[in-house]
Amino acid sequence: MKAGEIAEFVGGTVSGNGEVEIVSFADLKTAKQGDITFLERPENFSGTNASCVIVPNGFDTAQFPAAITVKQPKLAFALIAQKLRVRETFSGIHETAVIAADSDVRASYIGASVSVAGDTQIGESTEVHDGTRIGRNVTIGTGTVIHPNCVIYDNVTIGNDCVIHAGTIIGADGFGYVRDAEGVYHQFPQVGTVVIEDNVEIGANSCIDRGALGETRIGKGTKIDNLVQVGHNVNIGKHCVIAAQTGISGSVVIEDGCVIGGQVGFGDHVTVQSGAVIGSQAGILPGKIVRPGVWWGTPIQPLDEYKRQNAHIKSLERMKAELKEIKRKLD
């Protein structure tokens, strides 16, 4: 693509030579001729060999062979990188795959040792990579990629254009037990389902449990990192991001557009309202309603309060000394 075409594609303004041919992308330091790159922190800029640089509004572009001015350079770079790098696609059904006769598999690719049980539907252009196991009565949409060694239990639904990374388990039993008078635990029925909506991406080795009696749902466009635990009957809205190793207990509701850090712990029946941002390692008590805003700590509190409280704790040494001095004066 020419720099001018890229500018048009990302909705930016080209300057310099719009005819420059761009073949790939890289970061500022490693970019070479033919590459496009972007400037995230203009104040730290110290040169690049890229043929074209995406810069924020107001940055001087005279020094570059070609430049594209946009409001969000990183976003524009992500969009053009997706376009420049055509992801390798896979096709064919491997001879070692085990596919039930009564399934409806239209996928473009079923890898080695994959198994697909009965009554399952897999849509067109979907790829199921080596060693992934797909249970009975599963529905998977079109254009979805499931990486190797995942396990999709029975009755799960996965939408279109999703990406599930390796080793992720969807639809295992939720963790629900009832204790009897002898202290023995009996499983509460875990017979519900999981619904993953379109454009969801889930990292590696994460776990999304099935609903106990109802469903666990991950909303459209939500992105989940590695090693995340999503308990039974959790309902996550659209366009949320959830970082690595966060654990979400049963029946939690996370509304649209929330941002959840890593290693956060949710008690059960928490509701996080749309637009809330929760800092890493925060802990949320069962039943809590988290309003929009930025939150941190265990138990979580608004970020400002948390910071003020930390400052108070830091001043405890001085407070103690003052108390001592006052007592001396009074005596």
Secondary structure of residue 321 in the 3-state scheme:
helix
What is the rounded end-to-end Cα distance, in angstroms, of the chain? Answer: 83
- C-alpha–C-alpha distance, residues 67 and 12, integer Å: 10
Whether 186 is catalytic: no
Check 147, 186, 232, 269 and give the catalytic one: 232
* In the complex, least distance from residue 184 CB atom to a copy of itself, rounded to whole angstroms: 6
Tell me whether strands 52-56 and 193-196 are parallel, antiparallel or unpaired.
unpaired
- Regarding 41 and contact with a copy of itself (CB under 8 A), the answer is no
Query: DSSP letters along 208-240, please?
Result: EPPPSSSEEEE-TT-EE-TT-EE-TT-EE-SS-
Restricting to residues 184-243, name those near a copy of itself by CB under 8 A: 184-189, 191, 201, 203-207, 209, 213-214, 221, 223, 225-227, 229, 231, 239, 241, 243
Among candidates 159, 197, 154, 189, which has minimal Cα distance to 172? Answer: 154
- Of 19 and 164, which has the nearer Cβ to a copy of itself? 164
- Regarding 257 and contact with a copy of itself (CB under 8 A), the answer is yes
Among candidates 228, 179, 180, 233, which has minimal Cα distance to 203? Answer: 228
Site string for a copy of itself, 262-301 (x = CB under 8 A): xx-x-x------------xx-x--------------xx--
Restricting to residues 42-71, name those near a copy of itself by CB under 8 A: none
- The alpha carbon torsion through 108, 113, 119, 120 (nearest 10 deg) reads -40
Whether 201 contacts 220, CB under 8 Å: no
Restricting to residues 76-135, name those near a copy of itself by CB under 8 A: 77-79, 81-82, 85, 88, 94, 96, 98, 111-113, 115, 129-131, 133
Restricting to residues 126-185, name those near a copy of itself by CB under 8 A: 129-131, 133, 136, 147-149, 151, 153, 163, 165-167, 169, 172-173, 175, 177-180, 183-185
Please give the positions annotated as active site.
232
